[in-house]
C-alpha cells in the first residue's frame, strides 16, 4: 500500500475547516428548522406544530405541519405541499384538522389522510365555532377611494394621496385595506351560504401589524364573537393605544363595547368554558405601550368587572382558562425569563407552573398539564409538556436535536452587577465555545431594543448570542433600566430618561466585565438595534474611550427628526416627552439625543438600515453615517432596500451576519 505525506499546511487547513464546522455560522441559522405550536386536540392527546424550513440558495421558505402524541412523543409529518401551511385548528369533534394553505382553508384526518380543500376564497386566519356550525375568519377589505378611483385615466401613475396621519405603519403604506372579521355557515367540511362581515368598518381586527387569532374568540355556545379592535383612524390612531374588546351576537347582529372607559390596550379576550366569564389583557395608561399588562375578569351575567392580577408587580400575558374553568393560566416575565403561571379563581392564589432559565413563548393548557413552545439562548423553540403540579418537563419534539448536538455551543452565565444608583442588575455573560479563562478575549456589549423588552432566553435569528460568541467574542448582555421582569419601577424608569440611568447601566455592565482577567479591555465593542441602535449612537459620544468598535442597526440618531418621521406618535410622546416645540422643551431633546454628542465621536462604526423601516426611518441611519464620514472616522453603511425594522429574507440575513462579523473582526481582532 502506498503512503503519502500530506503537507503540514494542508493538515492545518483541514483541521481549521473541521473546527469551523462545529460552531454556529450565519448559514447554520438557516439550516435550523423553526418550530411553532399550533393547536392541541380537545382531549389533549395530540398537538399540531409547524416546522418552517428555508432554502438560502433560492431565498425562500415553506412550512409543514406535524402531529405529536402528547403521551408517547410519537410524531409524524402530516402535510408536505412545498408551500406554507399554518393556522392549524382541531375540528371540535377532535377527528379532523383544519389549516390554511396559501390562504385557503383545507381539512384532513389526524394522520394527514383525506386532504380536502374547503374554501374557494382566501382568508388570513380562521377558527371553528365550538358547535361546528360556523367558522369565523378575517381578511382584507377595501375602504375608501384609491388613487386610481380619483384618476381613472392615469392607471400607471404611482402615488398615494394622503390627507391624514397613520399613512404608513412599520413597513407598509396604508392602501385603504383593513382586516375585517367574517363568519359563515359550516357543516361536515363544507361552507354554507354567504359570509357575514361583523364589522364592515375601516378598522382592523386583529390589529395590525402583529395581532393574530388570539385577539378573536368564540363563546362556547357559538352565538357570540369577542374581538379586539382600535376603532380610530388617522391622527387619533397615532396618538392613542386605546383598543377595546367588542362582543358581537350573531343572533341579533348587535355589537357591544365591553371595555369602554379602559383607556390603554385591551386585547386577547377568552371565554370561560361555561361562557359566563370573559378574561382579557388590559393596560391602564393610554399612550404607554409598555404599561403593565393586567388580567381583567368580567362576569357577563352580573356585569361585574375586576382585575385578577391586582398587586402583581409584573406583566401577565395571554390569559387562558383551564378546561375545568377553575384556573386562568398566563405567561409572565421573571428575571429575564418567561414562565407560565396560573391564578385560581376561587381565591386569587397564584402558582408558578414552570421554573428555569428558559422562555415559554406560547402554550396551551389542559387541567393537569400544558403544552408549550420553549426556547433558551442555545435552543430554538421545541415543543414541551409540563406537569402542572410538579413542574416536570418532557421534551416532545426533537426537530433540531441532531444538528444542535453536532455544534460546540456557548456557555451562558447570569451575573448580578451593582449599578451606579446601588441597584442590582442581571447581566448575561455568554462565552465562546471551548472558552479558556487563561486567554484574553475581545468583548461585545449587547444593547437591547424596545426600549422595554427583556434580554431573556430568546433564540434570535438575527441577534444570536451563540453565533456572536462562536466567532471568538465574549458577549455582555445586561438587563438595564427599562427592561421588564424586574418590577414595574425598574420597567418605567426608562421613559423620558433614555440617555440617563439606562446608559449608566450599560457602562456599569461593561466596566464590570472589563475587570475580568479574560476580558481584553483594549478590545471592547458595542452593538444594538432600534433603541439598542440609539444606545450605540449615544455611547459613541459618551463612552470616554472604552470602546473600539460600534454597530448600530436601525438606531435613532436625532430625536427631533425622528419625532416628525416615525408613525406611532403615542410612543414618541410617552417616551421622549412630546414634541420638541413645546414650551418648555422636553428634557429629552436637550440631553438625550445622540446627535448632540456627535462632536465627540472618534470610534469606527458600522451603520445598518432598511428602506422600509417606518418606525425608525432610514434618515436616522443616513445622518449617523454622514456624521462619521464627515469627521474622517472609519465607517460603513449597510443598506437593505427591501427590509424594514428587521432583516427577514434568508440571503439578506446571511449577508447581514457576514458583514456584522467582518466589521468586528476588522476593528477588534
* 274 or 6, higher pLDDT: 274
CA dist 218 and 198 (Å) reads: 13
Q: Which helix (H) or strand (E) holds 553?
A: strand 549-553
pLDDT level of residue 456 (50, 70, 90 thresholds) = very high
Q: Please check whether residue 255 is in contact with residue 246, taking contact to mean a CB–CB distance below 8 angstroms.
A: yes
In the predicted model, what is the mean pLDDT of residues 54-75? 97
Position 4 in a domain: no
Position 387 in a domain: no
In the predicted model, what is the mean pLDDT of residues 447-461? 95
pLDDT level of residue 21 (50, 70, 90 thresholds) = low
Q: Which helix (H) or strand (E) holds 394?
A: strand 393-395
pLDDT level of residue 18 (50, 70, 90 thresholds) = very low
Q: Which three cell numbers stand for residue 157?
A: 401613475
Position 467 in a domain: yes
In the predicted model, what is the mean pLDDT of residues 256-277? 97
pLDDT level of residue 144 (50, 70, 90 thresholds) = confident
Range of the domain at 629: 408-668
Q: Please check whether residue 205 is in contact with residue 197, taking contact to mean a CB–CB distance below 8 angstroms.
A: no
CA dist 123 and 115 (Å) reads: 18
The predicted-structure confidence for 513-537, as pLDDT tens digits, reads as follows 999 999 999 999 999 999 999 999 9
Residue (of 331, 295, 327) closest to 310 by Cα position: 295
Annotated catalytic residue within 244, 381, 497, 613: 613
Q: Please check whether residue 348 is in contact with residue 342, taking contact to mean a CB–CB distance below 8 angstroms.
A: no
In the predicted model, what is the mean pLDDT of residues 470-483? 97
Question: What are the helix and strand counts (H, E) for the chain?
Answer: 14, 38
Q: Please check whether residue 297 is in contact with residue 276, taking contact to mean a CB–CB distance below 8 angstroms.
A: no
Q: Please check whether residue 42 is in contact with residue 90, taking contact to mean a CB–CB distance below 8 angstroms.
A: yes
Exposed/middle/buried for 255, CB within 10 Å: 0-12, 13-18, 19+?
middle
The predicted-structure confidence for 606-663, as pLDDT tens digits, reads as follows 999 999 999 999 999 999 999 999 999 999 999 999 999 999 999 999 999 999 999 9
pLDDT level of residue 265 (50, 70, 90 thresholds) = very high
State the Cα torsion 473-474-480-486 to the nearest 10°.
Answer: 130
pLDDT level of residue 19 (50, 70, 90 thresholds) = very low
Check residue 240 and report its DSSP letter.
Answer: -
Q: Which three cell numbers stand for residue 425?
A: 442588575
Position 500 in a domain: yes
With 90 as the cut, is the pLDDT of residue 382 above it? yes
In the predicted model, what is the mean pLDDT of residues 17-37? 84
In the predicted model, what is the mean pLDDT of residues 206-235? 97
Torsional class of 200: left (φ above 0), alpha (ψ -120 to 50), beta (otherwise): left
Of 301-305, 522-526, 545-549, give the lowest mean pLDDT range.
Answer: 301-305
pLDDT value of position 160 = 94
Cα of first residue to Cα of last residue in the chain, in angstroms, is 45
Determine the longest span between alpha carbons in the chain, in angstroms: 92
Judged by DSSP in three states, 592 sits in helix
Position 6 in a domain: no
Q: Is 244 a catalytic residue?
A: no
Position 148 in a domain: no
* Alpha-helical regions (H) of 109-189: 147-150
Annotated catalytic residue within 119, 282, 453, 530: 530
pLDDT value of position 620 = 98
pTM score of the predicted model: 0.95
CA dist 84 and 65 (Å) reads: 9
pLDDT value of position 605 = 98
Calculate the alpha carbon distances from 517 to 17, 51, 442, 443, 500 in Å. Answer: 30, 43, 12, 12, 29
CA dist 499 and 503 (Å) reads: 6
* Alpha-helical regions (H) of 374-452: 401-405
The predicted-structure confidence for 362-375, as pLDDT tens digits, reads as follows 999 999 999 999 99
With 50 as the cut, is the pLDDT of residue 8 above it? no
| Domain final residue pick, 67, 83, 117 | 117
Q: Is 645 a catalytic residue?
A: yes
Check residue 589 and report its DSSP letter.
Answer: I
The predicted-structure confidence for 35-50, as pLDDT tens digits, reads as follows 999 999 999 999 999 9
| Domain final residue pick, 82, 117, 152 | 117
State the Cα torsion 80-84-85-86 to the nearest 10°.
Answer: 150
In the predicted model, what is the mean pLDDT of residues 16-39? 83
CA dist 518 and 90 (Å) reads: 53
In the predicted model, what is the mean pLDDT of residues 108-116? 98
Interior/surface letters 425-448, b for 16+ CB within 10 angstroms, e for the rest: bbbbbbbbbeeeeeebbbbbbbbb
State the Cα torsion 294-298-303-306 to the nearest 10°.
Answer: -40
Annotated catalytic residue within 358, 543, 609, 645: 645
Q: pLDDT exceeding 70 applies to what percent of the chain?
A: 97
Position 466 in a domain: yes
Position 454 in a domain: yes
| Domain final residue pick, 48, 83, 117 | 117
Q: Is 505 a catalytic residue?
A: no
CA dist 496 and 573 (Å) reads: 9
With 60 as the cut, is the pLDDT of residue 486 above it? yes
With 80 as the cut, is the pLDDT of residue 360 above it? yes
Interior/surface letters 319-336, b for 16+ CB within 10 angstroms, e for the rest: bbbbeebebbbbbbbbeb
Q: For the chain, how many structural domains are there in total?
A: 2
Judged by DSSP in three states, 60 sits in strand
pLDDT value of position 13 = 38
What's the CATH code of the domain at 547?
Answer: 3.40.50.1820
Place of cell 424608569: 493
pLDDT value of position 14 = 36
pLDDT value of position 494 = 96
Q: Phi/psi at 588 (nearest 5 deg)?
A: -55, -40
With 60 as the cut, is the pLDDT of residue 141 above it? yes
Whole-number mean pLDDT of the chain? 95
With 60 as the cut, is the pLDDT of residue 139 above it? yes
With 60 as the cut, is the pLDDT of residue 28 above it? yes
Q: Which three cell numbers stand for residue 346?
A: 376561587
Amino acid at each position: 500500500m502506498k503512503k503519502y505525506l500530506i503537507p503540514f499546511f494542508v493538515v492545518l487547513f483541514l483541521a481549521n475547516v473541521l473546527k469551523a464546522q462545529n460552531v454556529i455560522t450565519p448559514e447554520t441559522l438557516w439550516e435550523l428548522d423553526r418550530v411553532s405550536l399550533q393547536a392541541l386536540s380537545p382531549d389533549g392527546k395530540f398537538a399540531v406544530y409547524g416546522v418552517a424550513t428555508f432554502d438560502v440558495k433560492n431565498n425562500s421558505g415553506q412550512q409543514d405541519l406535524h402531529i405529536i402524541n402528547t403521551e408517547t412523543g410519537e410524531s409524524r409529518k402530516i402535510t408536505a405541499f412545498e408551500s406554507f401551511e399554518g393556522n392549524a385548528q382541531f375540528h371540535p369533534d377532535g377527528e379532523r384538522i383544519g389549516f390554511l394553505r396559501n390562504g385557503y382553508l383545507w381539512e384532513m384526518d389526524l394522520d394527514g389522510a383525506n386532504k380536502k380543500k374547503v374554501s374557494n376564497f382566501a382568508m388570513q386566519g380562521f377558527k371553528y365555532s365550538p358547535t361546528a356550525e360556523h367558522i369565523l375568519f378575517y381578511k382584507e377589505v377595501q375602504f375608501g377611494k384609491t388613487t386610481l378611483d380619483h384618476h381613472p385615466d392615469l392607471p400607471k401613475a404611482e402615488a398615494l394621496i394622503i390627507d391624514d396621519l397613520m399613512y404608513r405603519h412599520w413597513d407598509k403604506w396604508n392602501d385603504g385595506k383593513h382586516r375585517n372579521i367574517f363568519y359563515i355557515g359550516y357543516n361536515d367540511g363544507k361552507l354554507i351560504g354567504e359570509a357575514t362581515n361583523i364589522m364592515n368598518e375601516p378598522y382592523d381586527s386583529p390589529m395590525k401589524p402583529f395581532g393574530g387569532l388570539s385577539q378573536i374568540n368564540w363563546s362556547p355556545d357559538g352565538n357570540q364573537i369577542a374581538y379586539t379592535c382600535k376603532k380610530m383612524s388617522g391622527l387619533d390612531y397615532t396618538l392613542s393605544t386605546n383598543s377595546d374588546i367588542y362582543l358581537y351576537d350573531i343572533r341579533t347582529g348587535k355589537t357591544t363595547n365591553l371595555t369602554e372607559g379602559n383607556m390603554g390596550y385591551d386585547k386577547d379576550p377568552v371565554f370561560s368554558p361555561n361562557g359566563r366569564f370573559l378574561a382579557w389583557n388590559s393596560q391602564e395608561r393610554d399612550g404607554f405601550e409598555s404599561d403593565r399588562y393586567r388580567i381583567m375578569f368580567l362576569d357577563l351575567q352580573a356585569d361585574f368587572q375586576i382585575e385578577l392580577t391586582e398587586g402583581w408587580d409584573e406583566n401577565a400575558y395571554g390569559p387562558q382558562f383551564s378546561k375545568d374553568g377553575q384556573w386562568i393560566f398566563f405567561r409572565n416575565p421573571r428575571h429575564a425569563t418567561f414562565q407560565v403561571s396560573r391564578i385560581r379563581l376561587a381565591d386569587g392564589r397564584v402558582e408558578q407552573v414552570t421554573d428555569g432559565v428558559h422562555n415559554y413563548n406560547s402554550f396551551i393548557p389542559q387541567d393537569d398539564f400544558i403544552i408549550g413552545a420553549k426556547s433558551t439562548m442555545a435552543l430554538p423553540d421545541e415543543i414541551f409538556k409540563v406537569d402542572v403540579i410538579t413542574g416536570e418537563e418532557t421534551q416532545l419534539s426533537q426537530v433540531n436535536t441532531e444538528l444542535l448536538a453536532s455544534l460546540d455551543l456557548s456557555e451562558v452565565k447570569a451575573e448580578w452587577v451593582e449599578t451606579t444608583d446601588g441597584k442590582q442588575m442581571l447581566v448575561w455573560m455568554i462565552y465562546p465555545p471551548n472558552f479558556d479563562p487563561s486567554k484574553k478575549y475581545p468583548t461585545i456589549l449587547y444593547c437591547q431594543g424596545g426600549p422595554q423588552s427583556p434580554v431573556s432566553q430568546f433564540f434570535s435569528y438575527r441577534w444570536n448570542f451563540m453565533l456572536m460568541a462562536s466567532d471568538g467574542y465574549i458577549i455582555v448582555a445586561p438587563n438595564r433600566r427599562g427592561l421588564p421582569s424586574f418590577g414595574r419601577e425598574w420597567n418605567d424608569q426608562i421613559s423620558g430618561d433614555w440617555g440617563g440611568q439606562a446608559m449608566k447601566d450599560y457602562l456599569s455592565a461593561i466596566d464590570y466585565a472589563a475587570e475580568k482577567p479574560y476580558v481584553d479591555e483594549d478590545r471592547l465593542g458595542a452593538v444594538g438595534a432600534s433603541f439598542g441602535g440609539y444606545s450605540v449612537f449615544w455611547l459613541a459620544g459618551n463612552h470616554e474611550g472604552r470602546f473600539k468598535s460600534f454597530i448600530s442597526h436601525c438606531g435613532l440618531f436625532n430625536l427631533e427628526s425622528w419625532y416628525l418621521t416615525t408613525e406611532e406618535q403615542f410612543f414618541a410622546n410617552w417616551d421622549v416627552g412630546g414634541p420638541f416645540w413645546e414650551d418648555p422643551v422636553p428634557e429629552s431633546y436637550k440631553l438625550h439625543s445622540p446627535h448632540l454628542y456627535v462632536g465627540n465621536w472618534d470610534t469606527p462604526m458600522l451603520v445598518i438600515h432598511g428602506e422600509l423601516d417606518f418606525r425608525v426611518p432610514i434618515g436616522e441611519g443616513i445622518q449617523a453615517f454622514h456624521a462619521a464620514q464627515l469627521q474622517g472616522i472609519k465607517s460603513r453603511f449597510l443598506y437593505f432596500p427591501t427590509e424594514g425594522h428587521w432583516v427577514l429574507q434568508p440571503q439578506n440575513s446571511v449577508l447581514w451576519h457576514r458583514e456584522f462579523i467582518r466589521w468586528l473582526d476588522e476593528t477588534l481582532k
